[in-house]
Chain A
């Protein structure tokens, strides 16, 4: 009890210094948590991918389409239970900064492949019967205030022209990690429009989404699909949905690596600040430590005092930093809109923040505790007055 009292009072001895150190820790732990959450958001698509879904795209590049007639040939491969397709639309809503993903999909088959998109049956029916209807995610709806019945105008970039869609359904995510920032509409509508405008661009799709009965056969089925179209006009590349998503992440891997490095640098910097604070504190109290030693207190007691103080400061900063991460992450998510479809502070991030705070507390105290424990009493007493 006296030990804890001594730690607490020593911690509060230089209120300004302690407050500034805690503030530094709060900022560092908060920044660390936010940066880790950004990295998590980067991988959110891959994390939410199903192991029972494969994606087939053009082997040359994702920007090249595939013919629609591949669909029936792929469907015949044993082990495939369902197939649908999606095409990146890339339209602009009012201004280019209002980015959200838009896909032209095979409306009848696409959503059965994604049970994590929860759509009320009546709304789904309304969507299926409206050629110019669209389905949007809850986050997208909330971001721009879209409601069922609203008209969403898009300016086509890949598919030029002014497009207009009516919101017929809003889907929710079955899990917290489900992306609800997407916009889906009828591929039939796109295809028919293109048939009138640019005939050579009809009957092409972006990617096929394939559902397989046994995820263990993913590699085998992928090989079989790609073999089917080898030496054709549009060779295919089939991979798991997760690998497909990770392919996107790898395009920006340098950024992810940079964010990771910065997140650890932030912790390293606060460690240096904290170590300096503890060294300064211990140096100032060397005569007190010598007195305690003279009275019979052992080196472990002194080391305990320093470790206790360092951990108390680190934990205060850590707890405040973790608590602040949630509102700041929410605000950040609002600001970036649908750029990060899934942006939430994960439990793993919280554990890492806590571990970082504790590690800083322990590491910062190592040298001062060692010095205090080792200081000769006579030398320590001489430092007074």
Chain B
């Protein structure tokens, strides 16, 4: 038993529904599964299958209606909004489909942003940001604003911002959805490196079977339920 890999995410009987008009529409129904530490998992499924909702719940930006959702031993469904914000800052790195960079901040400042919530000194922050930007190959774009970068470069900045705080999990929602094939491949290679070299647990939502191949494990969702046949 002691040699079994440790689950970093434990999802148990999680349900979630949304209010649309006068009706409650179920999005996730009794979802239960574990994600092992150091795993690179892809969540796939058709539109409306609930994969993004599940990712949002794991990332702590949404709350389930019922069930428990433990990340690194903490049931995040029970945390208050303020505690959840602190928890996200320390434990989750976000990679969005449309990068979600602050347009008024440079690449350096965007990557530095999550570190402002830590106790690191200015010098320590600078050191970390420079290292992160060099890891994503953007040392020559430090002072550029997002509007001065290509889509692929912006997503690399977003990846640097995601891992700068050394989070427990990285969540990526369609990280290649807005990119051409070459840029998408670069981003996927970068995610694979983060997983293999830095041991980051990555949970990625994607429509793209090619992108999903980068993951070690693919989970399919169908109408809010895990498709166990795949």
Contact = CB atoms under 8 A, between A and B. Distances in A.
Nearest to B62: A378
B89 A378 contact: no
Contacts of B94: 291, 294-295
A10 interface: yes
B116 interface: yes
Nearest to A385: B98
A287 B100 contact: yes
B104 A381 contact: no
Interface residues of A, number: 22
Nearest to B94: A294
A9 B56 CA distance: 30
A149 B26 CA distance: 98
A7 B127 CA distance: 25
Nearest to A291: B100
B100 A377 contact: no
Interface in B152-171: 161
B74 interface: no
Given A295-B88, A295-B89, A296-B86, A384 B100 contact: yes
A296 B85 contact: yes
B176 to A, nearest CB: 14
Nearest to A287: B100
Nearest to B89: A296
B145 to A, nearest CB: 10
Given A288-B102, A377-B56, A385-B97, 16 more contacts: A2-B109, A2-B112, A5-B109, A6-B104, A6-B105, A9-B104, A287-B100, A291-B102, A293-B85, A294-B61, A294-B92, A296-B86, A296-B89, A297-B85, A378-B61, A378-B62
Interface of A: 2, 5-6, 9-10, 13, 287-288, 291-298, 376-378, 381, 384-385
19 contacts: A2-B112, A5-B109, A6-B105, A9-B104, A9-B105, A288-B102, A288-B103, A292-B102, A292-B113, A293-B61, A295-B117, A296-B85, A296-B86, A296-B88, A297-B117, A298-B82, A298-B85, A377-B62, A384-B100
